[in-house]
Amino acid sequence: MRATNEEIAAVLRERICLFAGPGDMLLHEGQLAAEFGVSRTPIRQVLQMLAYESLVETRSGVGTIVSPLLPERRRNDEIAFRALLSAAASCPVPGRYGLDEAGALLRKARVLLRAEGPITRDRLFHLLEHLLDATAILVDDHILVAAMRASCLRYMRWVVTELPLASQDAEAEYAEWLEAGIRLAVSAPSADLLRHLARRKDCPVAADPTPEAAPDTASGDADPGA
C-alpha cells in the first residue's frame, strides 16, 4: 500500500529530529519519491508541511535541507518553546474534550519511560512526540497549535541531540509528573491537564549545556520552565 503524506511526514520528522550531524542533511525529492514509492508531487507536499513546522528550508543552488540548529540560538529556542506552551495553556478546549486521547498518549509516554535500559535517542523522541501530541489535542486555537508544534519540534531536536551529554536516567524526573497527568486525564477538565502539560520541564536529560554568558551570572536568571 502506498504511504500517505502523513506517514511520509512522520518518518521524515523522526529522521530529522534524530539527525545529529555533522554537516547539512539534504532531502532529495527524487530519492524520497523512490524510497516511499510515490511521485514527486506528494513529496513536495510533505516537504512544504515540514517547512511550515520549521524543520526544513530551501536554499538556492542546494535544494531542501534540514533547518540547522544554531548554538547561539539555543537559549532563545527554549524560551520561545516555553512561551508558546504558556500561551497554549490559556486557550484550552472546553469541558473534557480530548482527554481520552490525551490520556492514551501520556500512557504511551509512560511505557517508553519505563522501558529497560538507558534512554536512547529514538525512545526519547517518541516520548516527547507523545507529549507534544497530547498537548496539541487540548488547545482550542489552530494558530497557537501550529506555532507551538514548530517550536516544540525544534526544542525536541535540541534535547535529542544533547542526550549523549546528559544523564541517561529520565524515569526519576518524569514518572511522578506523568502519573499526575494521567490522573488529571481521568478526573479533571481539559484545562487542568493542559496547564499541567504546559508547566513541564520538557527535558528528561541534563540541563542546557550552553548557558547564556553574562557578566552578572551570580544574580541568576529565572527558570522559564518553573
Tens digits of residue pLDDT in 138-150: 999 999 999 999 9
Euclidean distance between CA atoms 37 and 14, whole angstroms: 19
Cell of 43: 513529496
Residue 88 has pLDDT above 90, yes or no: yes
Are 24 and 65 a contacting pair, CB within 8 Å? Answer: yes
Euclidean distance between CA atoms 143 and 75, whole angstroms: 23
Q: How confident is the model at residue 203 (pLDDT cuts 50, 70, 90)?
A: low
Judged by DSSP in three states, 65 sits in strand
pLDDT of residue 176: 86
Judged by DSSP in three states, 222 sits in coil
Residue 62 has pLDDT above 80, yes or no: yes
Query: What 3 state SS string does 69-125 have?
Result: CCHHHHHHHHHHHHHHHHHHHCCECCCCCCHHHHHHHHHHHHHHHHCCCCCCHHHHH
Q: What percent of the chain has pLDDT over 90?
A: 69
Q: How confident is the model at residue 219 (pLDDT cuts 50, 70, 90)?
A: very low
Q: How confident is the model at residue 105 (pLDDT cuts 50, 70, 90)?
A: very high
Query: Sign (positive/negative) of CA torsion 147, 153, 158, 162?
Result: positive
Return the DSSP state at 165.
G
What's the whole-number mean pLDDT along residues 117-137? Answer: 92
pLDDT of residue 223: 45
pLDDT of residue 173: 65
Cell of 213: 554568558
pLDDT of residue 217: 39
Residue 226 has pLDDT above 80, yes or no: no
